[in-house]
């Protein structure tokens, strides 16, 4: 008995360590993301003021304002370009006034600033790549989580309805839903994404449009339909695993079929379907990467873009592998949550 207790304590300790690590990573990512958004908003506001000074030919004021931008974000390449262009404009004005010495001095400062900007913003260096890549991956991961959440919210209730449809006494209804499940489970999800997104356009009615919002909803529809069919089979198996005698006992007690299902069978079904359902949900997190086939900018799309060339970075492989950290953290938290849910439902054994 003491060995069992010791093992349980060890398991709990490991689970708490994993949970703390995952939560810490989520907090760090969130804080960095919020800080980055705040810094970007400040930088954009300062850049707008600096550009306004430059366009109004107030070059000295523009230089000071661009310096404030650099103080906020030292790797803001346009700020260095703005200072350089301001010095070149001052050099032209000095030349027009006949002050060659002053003009040469301004031109020299412009050259120095340009060289400094190239060094600071050199995207071939890892330390300069990291903030750019991290920002892009955070944006992509938010899109991944949105797609995951919408899919889960839509597929769970729809899957339950489809499972009822397959068990209908009306043969046409049951046959229709069984045929739908056969089609969806028998074809690749990637093919379904392509069909749902590009299909309406080939028929002359592009309901999704060409923007990111349209791609998101097309992917969401494809994922909801696909996973609802998988979930329906899990629901069906959970319902059929409950002894028929419970229905008969409920009817004897005067309960309706809906009361028997929601008050007697549902919680038992949940206990039975948690393990297979959790497996499908963990798979869903990873399957969201398939949405990149319709150019939806989820996290894998963001990581892969740096291999082809994005934001001045090209031929870089490490961002695509770094996306695995995000998936590990997300699935780690879900695994711990499902483990705790299974333990809470153990009293039905």
pLDDT tens digits along 265-306: 777 777 888 889 999 999 999 999 999 999 899 999 988 888
Segment 165-193 shows an average pLDDT of: 92
Tens-digit pLDDT profile for residues 56-107: 888 888 888 888 877 777 667 777 788 888 888 888 888 877 777 787 787 8
Mean pLDDT of the chain: 82
* Residue 313, φ and ψ in degrees, nearest 5: -115, 130
Rounded CA-CA distance 217/184 in Å is 18
pTM exceeds cut of 0.75 = no
Rounded CA-CA distance 122/318 in Å is 17
Domain stop point among 73, 99, 120: 120
Q: What six digits make up the tokens of 54?
A: 């430059």
Three-state SS at 125: coil
Statement to judge: residues 80 and 206 lie in one domain: no
Domain stop point among 68, 86, 120: 120
Domain stop point among 87, 120, 153: 120
User: Which residues span the domain enclosing 306?
Assistant: 126-348
pLDDT value at position 22?
65
Under 8 Å between Cβ of 306 and 133: yes
Radius of gyration of the chain (CA): 29
Tens-digit pLDDT profile for residues 296-317: 999 999 888 888 877 767 778 8
Segment 325-347 shows an average pLDDT of: 85
pLDDT value at position 55?
85
Statement to judge: residues 224 and 273 lie in one domain: yes
Statement to judge: residues 47 and 176 lie in one domain: no
Segment 135-147 shows an average pLDDT of: 91
Statement to judge: residues 132 and 281 lie in one domain: yes
What are the residue ranges of helices labelled H in the chain? Answer: 2-55, 59-72, 77-96, 100-120, 126-166, 171-186, 189-202, 212-240, 245-252, 257-260, 266-287, 299-308, 318-344
Segment 14-24 shows an average pLDDT of: 68
Give the DSSP letter of residue 313: B
Statement to judge: residues 105 and 132 lie in one domain: no
The widest CA-to-CA distance across the chain, in whole angstroms, is 107
What are the residue ranges of helices labelled H in 97-170? Answer: 100-120, 126-166
pLDDT value at position 300?
92
Of 44-58, 72-86, 143-157, 314-328, give the lowest mean pLDDT range: 72-86
Per-residue confidence band for 153, with pLDDT thresholds at 50, 70 and 90: very high
Statement to judge: residues 55 and 190 lie in one domain: no
User: In percent, how much of the chain has pLDDT > 90?
Assistant: 28
- For residue 208, pLDDT over 70 is answered with yes
Of 90-99, 112-121, 137-146, 315-324, give the lowest mean pLDDT range: 112-121
Statement to judge: residues 227 and 330 lie in one domain: yes
Residues in the chain: 349
Number of domains in the chain: 2
Statement to judge: residues 26 and 168 lie in one domain: no
Three-state SS at 221: helix
Q: Could you tell me which of 80, 70, 73 has the C-alpha nearest to residue 39?
A: 73
pLDDT value at position 203?
83
């Amino acid at each position: 008995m003491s060995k069992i207790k010791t093992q349980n304590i060890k398991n709990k300790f490991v689970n708490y360590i994993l949970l703390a690590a995952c939560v810490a990573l989520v907090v760090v990512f969130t804080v960095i993301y919020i800080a980055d958004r705040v810094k970007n908003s400040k930088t954009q506001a300062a850049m707008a003021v600096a550009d306004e000074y430059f366009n109004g030919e107030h070059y000295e004021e523009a230089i000071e304002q661009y310096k404030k931008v650099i103080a906020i974000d030292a790797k803001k390449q346009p700020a260095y370009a703005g200072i350089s262009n301001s010095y070149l404009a001052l050099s032209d004005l000095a030349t027009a006034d006949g002050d060659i010495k002053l003009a040469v001095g301004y031109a020299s400062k412009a050259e120095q600033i340009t060289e400094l900007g190239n060094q600071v913003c050199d995207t071939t260096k890892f330390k300069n790549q990291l903030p750019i890549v991290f920002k892009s991956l955070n944006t992509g991961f938010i899109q991944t989580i949105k797609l995951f959440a919408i899919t889960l919210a839509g597929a769970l209730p729809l899957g339950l309805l489809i499972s009822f449809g397959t068990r209908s006494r009306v043969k046409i209804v049951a046959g229709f839903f069984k045929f739908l499940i056969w089609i969806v489970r028998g074809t690749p999800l990637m093919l379904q994404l392509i069909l749902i997104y590009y299909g309406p356009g080939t028929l002359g009615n592009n309901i999704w449009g060409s923007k990111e919002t349209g791609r998101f909803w097309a992917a969401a529809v494809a994922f909801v339909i696909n996973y609802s069919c998988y979930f329906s089979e899990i629901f069906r198996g959970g319902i059929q695993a409950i002894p028929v005698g419970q229905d008969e006992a409920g009817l004897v007690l005067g309960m309706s079929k809906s009361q028997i299902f929601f008050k007697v069978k549902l919680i038992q079904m949940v206990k039975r379907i948690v393990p297979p359902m959790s497996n499908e949900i963990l798979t869903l997190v990873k399957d969201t990467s398939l949405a990149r086939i319709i150019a939806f900018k989820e996290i894998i799309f963001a990581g892969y873009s740096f291999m082809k060339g994005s934001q001045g970075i090209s031929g870089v492989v490490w961002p695509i592998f770094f996306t695995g950290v995000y998936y590990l953290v997300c699935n780690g938290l879900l695994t711990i949550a499902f483990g705790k849910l299974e333990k809470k439902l153990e009293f039905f054994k």
